[in-house]
Amino acid sequence: VTQVLSDCLFCRIVAGEIAADVVAETETVVAFRDVNPQAPLHVLVVPREHVANAASLADTVPATVADLVLVAREVAEKGGHESYRLVFNTGADAGQTVFHAHLHVLAGRPMTWPPG
């Protein structure tokens, strides 16, 4: 059962209440461009269902974690990117600011390590 939280930004994007540049959609996930892109391609892939982070999604609907990764690959490949970086920030100290699970897909420039 998909829960739409009226105060959750990504629930509102999934529900179409807030506009986003959607690049891919499946029954379980929605992918849209990040408003503050950190690379030439920067897309967020989010589950339609509200869960706080990736591990909680794995606890509750593990197949949807795979859907996030598969849609991320599709978005990168469609953009012509063979190499891409996938990031799940989990917790404020790791840089998570939106507490609805999302997979960052970054591509189109050389990526450095360690990340900032």
What residues between 63 and 92 interact with ligand AMP by CB under 6 A?
A: 89
Give the Å distances, CA to CA, from 93 to 18, 46, 87, 88, 108.
27, 20, 14, 13, 26
Under rule CB under 6 A, residue 98 binds ligand AMP: yes
Residue of 50, 100, 102, 104 marked active site: 102
Shortest Cβ 19–ligand AMP spacing (Å): 8
Shortest Cβ 9–ligand AMP spacing (Å): 6
What residues between 9 and 28 interact with ligand AMP by CB under 6 A?
A: 9, 20
Under rule CB under 6 A, residue 34 binds ligand AMP: yes
Q: What is the DSSP letter of 6?
A: T
Give the Å distances, CA to CA, from 26 to 15, 39, 91, 94, 98.
14, 24, 26, 28, 21
Q: Under the rule (CB under 6 A), what is the footprint of ligand AMP?
A: 9, 20, 32, 34-36, 44, 89, 95-98
